Structure 1
């Protein structure tokens, strides 16, 4: 049989197999709470992000891909942005990673007569200290269902129950004279989970159940009504939506980072067409290489057994999904490096430590703050995911890079 004919037969067999199987594979549902506005997964926020244009008609929606401090400074009266930022700044999830400068930028934004809306389980500590707040957590002892309600009787029809919720965060301490109680969680023993706080000429709204903004809850029953009730407190003006994806630079433009191939790989038909093209290209290269290229003797380099041992141990931890053990070891080795090489005390990972590490390492303060705050957050967790491990590794690798 000639080689071109054999290539044709293999190609036909692959195509026939694809049609027989109908390229249907069982998809495992990812319940990770990413709050990513580009994600169509249950706990992504793509639907909410798209519907903002409908809720705030005739208003400009800008998605912010930089930190609040960078973006708001660039788009201020003294900045170099294309406009002056005024309106509503919305943050859904991951607000506890906002550094000191960004918290001050958001407070100044509200003080100037604008509105800041944050929905998250954990709020930035600097903001909580400034507004004199404290947040606690209570488990759902009976089931995983929580009742969310508004204080305003006119919004009573928008009260809902949400499932898949192990517990509720609530404000245990706040200024009862100046802070307005706008909502609660749990019917049996009401816990305040939604506050309205006047700040300067503007307003700050803090909400402790970001899960209601996800695709899963917006598409289930009439739970979208609760979100409409939350947004009814915001004025009809421009929206600045804080993106899950961040560009850590000093420039404040809201240009979206794009991937040329990412969208295609999310589409099943395009994805398998791409894989088919790669497979056929590989077959073409294999058959042509055998016909045209003479045999080249392979000389194997001496093997580095130390590197091989490290790879074997790391793969063992990774394949057994022991993320907790691996995360704890990476944090321990990193802090040991700080103690031995930089001669710093790592017992207290506070702002003073961040300043000292910045001076010793020569890195940017923002980069060091993100790394140390993420390590502190991981130390407070019991359960870890692969995403946590990858994020920690990226932060540490960025620290070691020149």
Structure 2
């Protein structure tokens, strides 16, 4: 590299560094979108709460749920095909409007079996409110500040204010008999915003101010203490953290996504840095148009793209969640390999086939029977989930290990 190239590179790096330093504090913007996403570090994400859950519920698992309650809890029940029976606390912060009637019914079954449902949102699905005989109304705040209070005297020290709150939700109608008021707003005991509703053998906790659980409020002053107080009602058990809608909506902020270059040119200092870089590059090309030696091209050897092609196709099926197609193909290829390796007829996968495959492959009959039984079970199903695909892959890998 000659001296001219080194000089150009140093100048460009210096210009961009100065532009970044000048522009860092002058053009910062804050995204106040209420995403309630456990991976978001923005003010109204819940990454801080999510990271602190293992400390609040010591020695307990935190399972992030990327499925609807209907799919997840039905699969992980006594009659389901999941890898465990779901028991513990189901925690949902914000975005509960995606829940349909089937999801609500599954959550009620979960709670009724001795578990705990904790939901915090500005309102709740009609099916849930009707079942619990509740109504929710909203009133405007005069100064965008709400005060959240506990009814329990031992938690009074954890009461908190919350700003940037234009309105306050409260339970305007409570027709059920066995309920407990846990909190209210704005020093008005009639403005109830936190309830415990015993449901069959379990409990349902409903809270009407989800912003108190976000990063902004947990990190501001001592507001985290209110969050601790609210979650202290939950038993120390496994936490199922609802992330279905947050997982689907990975982009938050502007509805129209702008290109990086468009954002770049909107910043004055960056814009001039970009223009200067182009000008200096053109000058470099003009003064170095004639070279002493022609560039010797590098000829890359031909690549074996077979593995890359297979990975691309498999990733395509996986990312589109076409589990049924993947499962069918894995079963087809597995049986084809059995036919070619052991010269066995795979038309009928019965006990005789299991015995022959065990003898020819040298595998334990119990292991072979478990794999073939699971394949036969999959062939009877019309709907598949990611767990089915992973379990099939595990069986096939164990067979060839």
Measured against aligned partners, the alpha-carbon deviations of 1:235-289 in whole angstroms (never above 9, x if no partner) come to 01000000143469xxxxxxx9xxxxxxxx9xxxxxx9xxx9xx99xx8xxx8xx
Measured against aligned partners, the alpha-carbon deviations of 1:210-245 in whole angstroms (never above 9, x if no partner) come to 010011111111111111111111001000000143
Matching residue of 1:20: 18
Pairwise mapping of residues 3-402 of structure 1 onto structure 2 (< 5 A)?
8-23=6-21, 24-25=23-24, 26-141=27-142, 143-188=143-188, 190-243=190-243, 244-246=245-247
CA distance in 2, matches of 1:37, 1:148: 23
Structure 2: state its 5+ residue gaps: 251-259, 261-269, 295-382, 384-401
Measured against aligned partners, the alpha-carbon deviations of 1:65-97 in whole angstroms (never above 9, x if no partner) come to 111111112222222222111000000000012
CA distance in 1, matches of 2:160, 2:175: 27
Q: Structure 1 residue 189: deviation in Å?
A: 6.4
8 Å Cα contact 1:184-1:193 kept in structure 2: yes
8 Å Cα contact 2:35-2:246 kept in structure 1: no
CA distance in 2, matches of 1:155, 1:200: 27
TM-score by length of 1: 0.59
Measured against aligned partners, the alpha-carbon deviations of 1:289-329 in whole angstroms (never above 9, x if no partner) come to x999xxxxxxxxxxxxxxxxxxxxxxxxxxxxxxxxxxxxx
Q: Structure 1 residue 175: deviation in Å?
A: 2.6
Structure 1: state its 5+ residue gaps: 249-255, 257-264, 266-271, 293-363, 365-402
8 Å Cα contact 1:96-1:125 kept in structure 2: no
* Higher radius of gyration, 1 or 2: 2
CA distance in 2, matches of 1:4, 1:104: 72
CA distance in 1, matches of 2:60, 2:162: 30
TM-score by length of 2: 0.59
Measured against aligned partners, the alpha-carbon deviations of 1:182-201 in whole angstroms (never above 9, x if no partner) come to 11011156400011011111
Q: Report the count of equivalent residues.
A: 260
Q: Structure 1 residue 178: deviation in Å?
A: 1.5
- Distance of aligned partners of 1:238 and 1:189 in 2 relative to their CA distance in 1, 3 Å threshold: closer
Measured against aligned partners, the alpha-carbon deviations of 1:139-187 in whole angstroms (never above 9, x if no partner) come to 112x111111111112111111111111200000113522211110111
- Distance of aligned partners of 1:56 and 1:14 in 2 relative to their CA distance in 1, 3 Å threshold: same
Q: Report the 3-state secondary structure (helix = DSSP H, G, I; strand = E; otherwise coil) of the residue aligned with 1:66.
A: coil
